[in-house]
């Protein structure tokens, strides 16, 4: 099953039958204004749904940067998150129920059920009953081990989420398994989502830093405050230099040279009762660490300042001969206390490969976006692809981080899933896949079953970004 194909890690491709959901399954089924939920088909465009919710004073916070051309089903399948996830969390926090077609064609509905209702499910003489029995046994036999198996990161999409299926009160919900499973456990055909109150007004602080140490210290102090900002994004000076070379007018009247080493964007929603107090506290922190900063509550001025963060599109979209911005070491995250080491390590890896690549990302969750430009038609660059993959995974895991923070593992990161999870957890996760998909027919090779040798054979010399704007498969 495929949404708009915006996943960049190989989960939306394959050699089997492809069901393109936006073609026919793109409707809002129910908008419950009293219960503040919305039920949709998976092929609905995320941006269209968001616009509809806005007219009712609601919104879905974990929207990805691709919301204008991605689907809600894809966001659920990848457990997507975005710039507001620091405050609101990822997609998993908002999915209340699902309708899913299982590997044998059975249709089930998920949602949190009581211990009493769980016993009824355990007694079913169907594939659904078999799944409930098998998952329940697996969790019970390994609960002590699983409690210690999670990493200290804000967002982690590596493997399957086993943490919130069975709670202490005996209630049970398969929904967390399907969210982020990338179509490997079943085909989602209906989604019920919780929504939040929408407030378009906010305050934005934009701060410049001369060093990574200053940025790290400011981040730690801000995140130590009682009330977190809704968003904390950052870009590096390398990005600004490249944007200036490509389009000198883009940064005109927004920022002047010399450019700082890093720029931090801090957004606070003015609906928070301690809004003014929060701004004062953050201002004091920035006075201690930033080169300079400015605050704005004016929407037009904020939009102008945000162009700095959104200038990433200028660099990504620019092709240098046959070189393209490749998402091969994108989307990692580490504990916030190791963020400085993570950035330093990425710079070193890029330098070793003689690549001048800017970085940006979600500073509040210590998540990086790194898209080095390489030509898959050149042998030397293809070799760099795999050096980058291996060295980046080593770096992230050495810092206690995750290789998959905002999106799923797909095929590109599948070779490193066992390295992150460890042999025992990987074995349990593989059992989950076997329980739901005993014949391996659902998106094979995604999350599990793809090694580096397989990836080498799958690389295409003609990689482009066209698939981000067209849900149909390329020939």
Q: What is the 3-state secondary structure (H, E, C) of 157-175?
A: CCCCCCCCCECCCCCECCH
Helices (H) and strands (E) in the chain, counts: 16, 15
The whole-angstrom separation of Cα 3 and Cα 77 is: 9
Architecture of 324-468 per CATH?
Answer: 2-Layer Sandwich (3.30)
Asked if 417 contacts 11 with a C-beta cutoff of 8 angstroms, the reply is no
pLDDT range class, residue 416, cuts 50, 70, 90: very high
3-state secondary structure of 407: coil
Predicted local confidence at residue 285, as pLDDT = 98
Report the CATH number of the 21-197 domain: 3.30.465.10
Give the residue ranges of DSSP H helices in 224-353.
Answer: 237-246, 275-289, 299-310, 312-317, 339-352
Q: Which stretch of 183-197, 427-441, 448-462 has the lowest confidence by average pLDDT?
A: 448-462
- Pick 146 or 193 by higher pLDDT: 193
Give CA–CA dist 197/57, Å, rounded.
Answer: 6
Q: What is the widest separation between alpha-carbon atoms in the chain?
A: 70
The pLDDT of residue 150 is above 80: no
Instruction: Burial-class residue 327 by CB neighbours within 10 Å (0-12, 13-18, 19+).
Output: buried
What residues contact 144, with CB distance under 8 A and at least 6 apart?
none
Own/partner contacts of 15-20, CB < 8 Å, gap of 24 or more, are: 16/441, 16/444, 18/473, 19/187, 20/471, 20/472, 20/473
pLDDT tens-digit readout, 340-386? 999 999 999 999 999 999 999 999 999 999 999 999 889 999 999 99
Full DSSP string of 403-441: S-SSS--TTTSGGGHHHHH-HHHHHHHHHHHHHH-TT--
pLDDT digits (tens, 9 = 90+) for 37-80: 999 999 999 999 999 999 999 999 999 888 888 999 999 999 99
User: Is 387 within 8 Å of 378 (Cβ atoms)?
Assistant: no
Query: How high is the pLDDT of residue 475?
Result: 31
Q: Residues spanned by CATH 3.30.465.10 within the chain? A: 21-197
Mean of the pLDDT values across residues 127-154? 88
DSSP label at residue 320: B
> Does the CA dihedral 450-455-458-459 come out positive or negative?
positive
Write out pLDDT tens, residues 207-255: 999 999 999 999 999 999 999 899 999 999 999 999 999 988 888 888 9
- Residue 312 has a pLDDT of 87
- How many Cβ atoms are within 10 Å of 427's Cβ, its own excluded? 12
Q: What pLDDT was estimated at residue 466?
A: 58
Q: What is the DSSP string of 210-239?
A: SSHHHHHHHHHHHHTSSSPPSEEEEEEHHH
What is the CATH number that goes with domain 202-317? Answer: 3.30.70.2190
Please provide the average confidence, as pLDDT, over all residues in the chain: 91
pLDDT in tens, 308-343: 998 888 888 887 778 888 888 999 999 999 999 999
Predicted pLDDT at 413: 94
pLDDT digits (tens, 9 = 90+) for 6-39: 777 777 777 777 777 888 899 999 999 999 999 9
Domain boundaries for CATH 3.30.70.2190 within the chain: 202-317
- pLDDT at residue 469, as a whole number: 45
In this prediction the pTM is 0.92
């Amino acid at each position: 099953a495929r949404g708009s194909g915006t996943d960049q890690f190989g989960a939306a491709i394959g050699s089997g039958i492809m069901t393109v959901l936006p073609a026919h399954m793109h409707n809002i089924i129910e908008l419950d204004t009293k219960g503040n939920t919305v039920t949709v088909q998976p092929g609905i465009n995320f941006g269209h749904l968001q616009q509809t919710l806005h007219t009712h004073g609601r919104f879905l916070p974990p929207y990805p940067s691709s919301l204008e051309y991605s689907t809600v089903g894809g966001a659920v399948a990848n457990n997507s998150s975005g710039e507001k996830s620091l405050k609101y969390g990822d997609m998993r926090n908002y999915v209340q129920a699902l309708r899913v077609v299982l590997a044998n064609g059975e249709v089930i509905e998920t949602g949190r059920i009581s211990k009493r209702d769980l016993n009824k499910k355990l007694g079913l003489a169907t594939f659904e009953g078999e799944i409930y029995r098998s998952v329940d046994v697996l969790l019970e036999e390994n609960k002590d081990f699983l409690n210690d198996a999670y990493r200290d990161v804000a967002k982690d999409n590596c493997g399957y989420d086993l943490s919130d299926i069975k709670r202490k009160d005996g209630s049970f919900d398969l929904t967390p398994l399907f969210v982020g499973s990338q179509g490997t456990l079943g085909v989602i055909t209906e989604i019920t989502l919780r929504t939040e109150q929408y407030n378009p007004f906010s305050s934005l602080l934009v701060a410049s830093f001369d060093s990574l140490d200053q940025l790290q210290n400011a981040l730690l102090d801000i995140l130590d405050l009682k009330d977190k900002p809704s968003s904390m994004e950052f870009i590096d000076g390398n990005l600004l230099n490249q944007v200036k070379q490509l389009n000198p007018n883009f940064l005109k009247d927004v920022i002047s040279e010399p450019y700082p080493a890093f720029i931090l964007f801090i957004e606070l929603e003015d609906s928070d009762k301690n809004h003014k107090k929060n701004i004062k506290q953050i201002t004091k922190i920035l006075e201690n660490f930033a080169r300079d900063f400015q605050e704005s509550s004016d929407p037009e001025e904020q939009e102008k300042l945000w162009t700095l963060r959104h200038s990433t599109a200028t660099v990504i979209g620019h092709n240098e001969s046959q070189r393209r911005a490749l998402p091969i070491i994108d989307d990692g995250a580490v504990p916030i206390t190791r963020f400085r080491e993570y950035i330093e390590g990425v710079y070193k890896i890029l330098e070793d490969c003689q690549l001048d690549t800017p970085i940006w990302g979600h500073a509040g969750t210590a998540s990086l976006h790194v898209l080095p430009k390489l030509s898959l038609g050149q042998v030397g660059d293809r070799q760099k692809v795999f050096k980058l993959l291996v060295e980046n995974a080593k770096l992230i895991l050495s810092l206690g981080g995750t290789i998959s923070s905002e999106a799923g593992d797909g095929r590109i990161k599948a070779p490193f899933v066992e390295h992150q999870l460890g042999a025992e957890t990987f074995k349990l996760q593989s059992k989950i896949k076997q329980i739901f998909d005993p014949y391996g027919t659902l998106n094979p090779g995604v999350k599990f079953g793809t090694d580096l040798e397989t990836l080498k054979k799958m690389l295409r010399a003609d990689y482009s970004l066209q698939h981000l704007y067209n849900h149909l498969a390329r020939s």
